[in-house]
Amino acid sequence: MLTSVTNFIKQFFPKFDASAVSEKIAPDRGVGPAELMAEWKEIGKTASRAGTAVHEYARWMFSNNISPQPWPDEIKLDSIGLLTIQLIDACDKIYSKGFLPIEAEKIIFSSRLGLAGTVDLLLKDPAGPVIILDWKTNKELKIENPFETGLPPIDHLEDSNLNHYALQLSIYQYILEAEDYYPAGQEYRRLIVHLTETDNRVYSCKYLKDEIENMLI
């Protein structure tokens, strides 16, 4: 039985205690803890639907070599539509740099490591590296979190979105290397594209190889 990369990483960070947090902040919101938790659940469902729709649109474009130019009546100005507009803009930037799509929604796994995951997009940089890219549609992306850290053996890493994603893409690269998806010596880059309703930003992630190997012990 293989473990998803996302679930594997979750083991190394404190679990969010929604019940305890809702008890603490509900009075300030003038609502009960149960009502607040229900609100969070609905927000989560809405965000998940939007994220899935955007990922599907990206997969369709890159799998079919579709130029990211929508017809005006295709895009509605709701949350999904606004995210899609930002996705299209991000894709234009990708094409303008000469990056070539290799495969979208690439399933990778290692039986030896017991891990599996899906890479949103693999690209070829004309300069040589393979780019491991992941789309993120969460409302905000925290780069730092000085108040919380991971659990041993990665307790030196802050519990931030960017560190979670850096670990995710680092494990993807580790699997690609360990299972010889590409020839030995292949260089890689790891990019997160954060899409919001008003912007799209690219973040480069470090290769946390030492951390990954310590987590796998």
CATH, residue 104: 3.90.320
- Mean pLDDT within 205-210: 98
pLDDT band at 69 (very low <50, low <70, confident <90, very high): low
pLDDT over threshold 70, residue 154 = yes
Retrieve residue 187's tokens.
Answer: 């260089």
What is the model's pLDDT at position 31? Answer: 83
pLDDT band at 64 (very low <50, low <70, confident <90, very high): confident
pLDDT over threshold 80, residue 137 = yes
- Mean pLDDT within 195-216: 98
- Mean pLDDT within 45-73: 80
- Mean pLDDT within 43-50: 86
- Mean pLDDT within 187-201: 97
Domain that holds residue 193: 3-216
What is the model's pLDDT at position 11? Answer: 97
pLDDT band at 132 (very low <50, low <70, confident <90, very high): very high
What is the model's pLDDT at position 70? Answer: 55
pLDDT over threshold 90, residue 38 = no
pLDDT band at 39 (very low <50, low <70, confident <90, very high): confident
Strand partners, 193: 135, 202
Ranked by mean pLDDT, which of 29-38, 40-49, 70-79, 189-198 comes out on top? Answer: 189-198
What is the model's pLDDT at position 116? Answer: 99
- Give the SS3 label for residue 217: coil
What is the model's pLDDT at position 47? Answer: 85
Task: In whole angstroms, give the CA distance from residue 26 to residue 33.
Answer: 5
**What separation in angstroms does the CA of 204 have from each of 46, 95, 150, 188?**
27, 18, 20, 11
What is the model's pLDDT at position 158? Answer: 98
The average confidence (pLDDT) of the chain is: 92
pLDDT over threshold 60, residue 71 = no
Task: In whole angstroms, give the CA distance from residue 2 to residue 117.
Answer: 9
Task: In whole angstroms, give the CA distance from residue 158 to residue 150.
Answer: 6
Residues of the chain with pLDDT > 90, as a percent, come to 71
- Domain count for the chain, please give it: 1
